[in-house]
Amino acid sequence: AQTVTQSQPEMSVQEAETVTLSCTYDTSESDYYLFWYKQPPSRQMILVIRQEAYKQQNATENRFSVNFQKAAKSFSLKISDSQLGDAAMYFCAYRIHNTDKLIFGTGTRLQVFP
Amino acid sequence: NAGVTQTPKFRILKIGQSMTLQCAQDMNHNYMYWYRQDPGMGLKLIYYSVGAGITDKGEVPNGYNVSRSTTEDFPLRLELAAPSQTSVYFCASSSPGVGSPLHFGNGTRLTVT
**What would the pLDDT profile of A51-73 be if each residue is shown by its tens digit?**
999 988 999 999 999 999 999 99
Quote the mean pLDDT of chain B: 94
Chain B 62-81, residues with CB within 8 Å of chain A CB atoms: none
Span B9-32, average pLDDT:
96
Backbone angles phi, psi at B33, to 5 degrees: -140, 150
Q: Distance from B16 to chain A by nearest Cα, in Å?
A: 27
Digit-coded pLDDT (tens) for B81-94: 999 999 999 999 99
The dihedral over CA atoms of A88, A52, B48, B111, expressed in degrees to the nearest 10, equals -10
Residue A12's contacts (CB-CB under 8 Å, 6 or more residues apart) are: A19, A110, A111, A112, A113
> CA B34, CA B43: separation in Å to the nearest integer?
9
CB contact under 8 A, A102 and B104: no
CA distance A92 to A54: 18
Q: Does B54 touch chain A if contact means CB atoms closer than 8 Å?
A: no
Which of A43, A100, A106 lies nearest to residue B31, judging by beta carbons?
A100
Q: Which A residues, 18 through 47, put their C-beta within 8 Å of a C-beta on chain B?
A: 31-33, 35, 42-45, 47
Chain B contact set for A50 (CB, 8 A): 99, 101
Q: Mean pLDDT, to the nearest integer, of B11-25?
A: 97
Each residue's pLDDT tens digit, A5-47: 999 999 999 999 999 999 999 988 888 999 999 999 999 999 9
Name the closest residue on chain A to residue B91, using Cα atoms: A45
Question: Given CA atoms B84, B54, A39, A73 in this order, what sign does their dihedral have?
Answer: positive
Q: Which residue has the higher pLDDT, A93 or A101?
A: A93
d(CA B68, CA A20): 40
Other C-beta atoms closer than 10 Å to the C-beta of A21 total 23
Which tens digit of pLDDT belongs to each residue from B52-99? 999 999 999 999 999 999 999 999 999 899 999 999 999 999 998 888
Report CB contact under 8 Å: B42, A97. Answer: no
Helix, strand, or coil (residue A84): helix
